[in-house]
Amino acid sequence: MKLRKIVLFIILLVAFGAWAQEAEKDSIQDKPERPAFESSYIIDNPTNILFNKNTLEILMSHRFGTINGGTNDLAGFWAPANIRIAASYAVHDRVTIGFGTTKFDRLQDFNWKFKLIEQTRSGKIPVSVSYYGNFVIDARPKENFALEQHRYSYFNQLIIAKRFSRNFSMQIAPSISHYNLVEQRLRNDKFAVSLGGRYKVSPQTAVLFDYTQPFTHHLDGTGLNSYPRPGISLGVEFATSGHAFQLFISNYDGIVPQKNIMFNQNDFFNGDYLIGFNITRKYNF
Fold classified for 31-284: Porin (2.40.160)
User: Cα dihedral sign for 255, 261, 265, 270?
Assistant: positive
**Beta carbons of 212 and 41 less than 8 angstroms apart:** no
In this structure, what are the phi and psi dihedrals at residue 57, rounded to the nearest 5 degrees? -115, 130
Task: Give the per-residue pLDDT at 141.
Answer: 95
Task: Give the per-residue pLDDT at 216.
Answer: 73
Q: Where are the domains of the chain?
A: 31-284
> Pick from 244, 262, 127, 86: which is nearest to 185 by CA?
262
**Beta carbons of 167 and 193 less than 8 angstroms apart:** no
Assign residue 106 a region (left: φ > 0; alpha: ψ between -120 and 50; beta: otherwise). left
Task: Give the per-residue pLDDT at 220.
Answer: 60
Q: What's the predicted TM-score (pTM) here?
A: 0.86
pLDDT tens by residue, the chain, 285 residues:
444 544 444 444 445 455 545 545 555 557 999 999 999 999 999 999 999 999 999 999 999 999 987 667 787 788 889 999 999 999 999 999 999 999 999 999 999 999 999 999 999 999 999 999 999 999 999 999 999 999 999 999 999 999 999 999 999 999 999 999 988 878 899 999 999 999 999 999 999 999 999 987 666 655 544 568 999 999 999 998 889 999 999 999 999 999 999 999 999 999 999 999 999 999 998
